[in-house]
Amino acid sequence: MQLPDEAISYHYQGLLVPQVEEWTPAAEARSRHFLPPNRLKEIAQRAMQVRGQVAADRELRQIPAEMQPLDAGFIDLPQKTLDQHRRHAETSPLGRILSLANRLRENVDAAVILGIGGSHFGASALFDALKSRYHNNLPIKDRSGTPRLFFEGDNVDNDALHELFEMLQLACVEPDVREERWGVVVISKSGATLETAVAYRAIRREMLEYYGHHSPYFNRLVLPITGESSKLRDLCKADGIADSDILPIPDDVGGRFSVFTPAGLVPAALMGLDVRALLLGAATMTRRFLEEPFERNPVLQYAAVNYLMSTEQDKPIRVLSVWSKKLEALGLWYDQLLAESLGKNGQGPTPLTAVQTRDLHSRGQQFQDGRRDKVINNLFVKSPAHSAIPIGMMDHNQDDLNQYNRKTMPDILSAAHHGANQAYFDSARPAADLVIPTLSEHTMGQLMQMLMLATVVEGRLMGVNPYGQPGVEAYKRNMRNLLKT
């Protein structure tokens, strides 16, 4: 298979026990804490078998009780969505996503995205990774017609919601002016999640007050995304929103696997991202997963290496060490993916996101010198999107930086990354590199699909069903019971 220049890769050789090494205390420690290459070879075989099983799961029409829930729809969804769009253009699911997102975009200068868990993290990861950090502060003309975006409904935080309303009330006083109009995308697959439902109720009230109860704006400025049958859908229909203006999250795609459904694609389109490139990246990763041998298959490599680290090398903490501020939200998305998918039956690695170099000044001490309970996956972006900022020469050299004057910020980051890896190796702390050539829709599509597929493979290796999240239901039941009393 021909890989595009933008292909992401997983470099795990640094955490294998070196083949030939003279005895030193550090070499001895590495032989205990790093992966024996033979063991990885054996697991690679099993991972290939698991791939066959995951591929077969996609074809199942009748799901046996012992395999439920099985939400394998996410695997083929990106390619399917692209194919349908090619054939049916505006009437395809992607056509509808783009046209409804566009309608909202043309009508408002601010959009509030409501959702929690899988109905929040994916969109927020894309926003942080691919838009300017100061998007919401940019003048309209520099946002190319895209609205400012605010994420809410991902908590029960009275003051945070209040502050959002205050800001909207201050900025928007004339609903007939597009620059002073705001809208809502409400996302909930079940349509029954209390956090999102309560936030929607409050925001709906706020909208009716601002636009007026009989204003035509309301129906045009609310874009619901929910399951085929849900309380949210019923409510929106009762409010006069056409069923065809409510976008579906397919039944066979679980919440935390839903970033390539309208739950992630509508916010992406609102942001002005290239949604097709995102889907193409994800579809490419699915093909790589299904077709490539272990040696060229980052999904199988990542799943196998990390599975062995947590189950056989006693490394229950899985650190995703992201080397860009713009990837912190992606880390939170992965935290949910891993925790809810594999944290079952007393098993599962504990995910932890660290942002470098920031956290080298906080968690760094513990990674280097604390308990030997971690495996570190560095997520490194090779080329920045913007031109490199140089250190440069200065007449006043009191800071002693003239010696590095030809170096740039990316040079410093690269030195910190290699320096940290060397230090981890020297003290027998296993670390691997997941390398993204650059941050783009195509690479984010690949990366997110890769991590979702790897999580499913890892679950199957562990004998844990990666779909469903029965543990989350307990607090919900208790909360609702308490509210009734």
Any idea which residues carry the catalytic annotation? 340, 361, 476
- Given the structure tokens 């990316």, which residue do they identify? 410
In this chain, which of 256, 276, 318, 344 binds ligand PA5, going by CB under 6 A?
256
313 vs 469, beta carbon nearer ligand PA5: 469
Give the nearest distance from C-beta 322 to ligand PA5 in angstroms.
21
Backbone phi and psi for residue 344, each to the nearest 5 degrees, phi listed first: -140, 155
Q: 293, 309, 296, 295: which is closest to 36 by C-alpha?
A: 309
Say whether residue 455 binds ligand PA5 (CB under 6 A): no
Q: Report the Cα 91 to chain-centroid distance in Å.
A: 28
- Give the pair of three-digit tokens for residue 200: 């929607």
Stretch that binds ligand PA5, among 165-173, 186-194, 211-219, 392-400 (CB under 6 A): 186-194
Query: In 10 A of CB 106, how many CB atoms?
Result: 11
Choose the binding region for ligand PA5 from 89-97, 182-190, 356-364, 400-408 (rule: CB under 6 A).
182-190
HSE-up of residue 463 (Cα within 13 Å, Cβ side): 4
- Contact by Cβ (8 Å): 441, 279: no
CA distance linking residue 6 with residue 435, whole number of Å: 10
Of 193, 286, 313, 321, the one binding ligand PA5 by CB under 6 A: 193
- 262 vs 430, beta carbon nearer ligand PA5: 262
Report the 3 state secondary structure along 4-32: CCCCCEEECHHHECCCCCCCCHHHHHHHH
As a whole number of Å, the CA-based R_g of the chain is 24
CA dihedral 199, 205, 210, 214 (to 10 degrees): 130
Q: Which is nearer to ligand PA5, 310 or 469 (CB)?
A: 469
Is residue 254 part of the contact set for ligand PA5 (CB under 6 A)?
A: yes
Give the span between the Cα atoms of 53 and 343, in whole angstroms: 21
Phi, psi of 223 (to 5 degrees): -120, 100
Residue 116 or 342 with smaller CB distance to ligand PA5? 116
Among 340, 359, 433, 458, binds ligand PA5 (CB under 6 A): 340
**Which position's Cβ is nearest ligand PA5?**
255
What track of x and - describes contact with ligand PA5 for positions 100 through 139 (by CB under 6 A)?
----------------xxxx--------------------
CB of 473 to ligand PA5, least distance (A): 10
Shortest spacing between CB 112 and ligand PA5, in angstroms = 16
The distance of closest approach from Cβ of residue 254 to ligand PA5 in the complex, given in angstroms and rounded to an integer, is 5
Alpha-carbon distances of 290 from 50, 170, 293, 341, 385, rounded to whole Å: 11, 52, 9, 21, 30
Q: Which of 248/298 has CB closer to ligand PA5?
A: 248
Taking CB under 6 A as the binding criterion, the range among 95-103, 248-256, 299-307, 345-353 that sits at the site for ligand PA5 is 248-256
- Closest separation in Å from C-beta 67 to ligand PA5: 17
Q: CB nearer to ligand PA5: give 297 or 469.
A: 469
Residue 283 C-beta: closest distance to ligand PA5, Å: 22
Between 23 and 475, CB nearer to ligand PA5: 475
Q: Among residues 124, 146, 188, 310, which is the contact residue for ligand PA5, using CB under 6 A?
A: 188
Total residues interacting with ligand PA5, rule: CB under 6 A: 14
Range 297-336, binding ligand PA5 (CB under 6 A): none
Judged by CB under 6 A, does residue 338 bind ligand PA5? Answer: no
Distance CA 222, CA 184 (A): 5
Residue 162 burial by Cβ neighbours in a 10 Å radius (0-12, 13-18, 19+): exposed
Instruction: Give the list of residues 6+ apart from residue 417 with CB closer than 8 angstroms, or none.
Output: 323, 356, 378, 380
- Contacting ligand PA5 within 63-82 (CB under 6 A): none
Residues lying near ligand PA5 in the complex (CB under 6 A) = 116-119, 188-190, 193, 196, 254-256, 340, 469
